Chain A
Amino acid sequence: MGLRDIGLILFFAAIIALLGLVPPLHHPMLGGVPVTAQGMGVTLAGILIGSRKGAVAAIVFLVAVAFGFPLLAGGRGGLSVFTGPTAGFLFAFPLAAFITGVLFQSLSWRMGGFLAAFLAAFVGGYVVLNLIGIPVMAWLTDKTVRQAVEIAAGLLPGGLIKALGTAIIVYLVAGLEPVGRR
């Protein structure tokens, strides 16, 4: 990786952190999983700077959180968040960025950038994050499979809106700069 890649990684880690300032949404139906904009930062990183760099940006962000900087949505930080009920979602961040990036790269050849970004962000930001995050949470907080499925269903509207948001942002950026393989 060259220095330019490192600059991109650091700035996108900062963007993921910046999105933590958007207040998280709590809803009783979601079993304590906050709806945050941070997942959007992860999918954006995967698309805008590429799958590998996006994943590294997510890791750098998590390391900064682990050092105790309150960068997670709602001002959380420190090592405690990696043992809490939503730890699975955090550990899934790098994989989500990676899969979003890979999907966007392969899909954007076949369809428009907007649709590709929407699908990639939905799979990475909703499917991957919840596929890892919800089982971990269900295991840590003794929830049944049924409850886990209900939580996943409850998060679906937010997931769709966030994927749409990512697609719109990618569309906006793509009009000004080449997107993806930077």
Chain B
Amino acid sequence: MQKLVLWVSPWLIATVLVAQQGSPDPTPAKPATAAERMTALEAAQQKIVADWRQASKEAAAKAAEAKADGKPVPAMAMRPDFAPLLEQANAAATAFAGTDDAVKFLLFIVQNGSGKREAITAALDTLTEKHVDNAALSELGQMIPFLSRMVAADKAETFLARLAKSSNPDVRGWVLMAQHKAAIETGERESDAYKTAKMELLKAAELASDAGLKAEITGAIDLREKFGAGNVAPDIEGEDLDGVAFKLSDYKGKVIFLDFWGDW
């Protein structure tokens, strides 16, 4: 909220000053720069998250009350809704159309689309048609395997084909990851499909500069080759929550139920 006020106030001051000076030749206010627009967008987003947190807290309290009274529990919004920001992001993308700045706003729409298929489709269309060589597109990475759930199947196919032709190795690597995901996860280890997928992905990891992509590739292959059923697990050497050193192999000879947990 504070950020938003900070951003708005120079505008208010500037407007008031211009009005007081009564400039005879009222030139239109200088349009906001891309950075200013992004800051405003992020501030508005933070406000939505803060409001959603507050609403969730209140809803949880009400739900507990309703439950105690034996009444039906009201529904809660599972995640903040950024749909109200999409128009603002799209206006900025249009204002800077064709430039690297537009890419940031289009990515914002794809990443925060809150299920608005039309807006996401339009943004992806522009990104993959006009900006496919832009390195920032590797930010789409984790989403690329799920494009067909975000937009219509034929659109997903078109976008994927365009991304595959990007001159940026990270973008192409993410496309390969999407294409080979199933083969690596479930393909027969001895099959050609598995071997080809592994070879192409390792090559893509070598060419990549995106650390997230490298980790995704080696993680997927490790998951299959080191942690699939039948493999002997690596040992763990660490400390327990009281700081006492111990090893997983201290429990060798027993059946071990290893649980990666967290309290969140």
Are A and B subunits of one complex? no
Residues of A within 8 A of B (CB): none
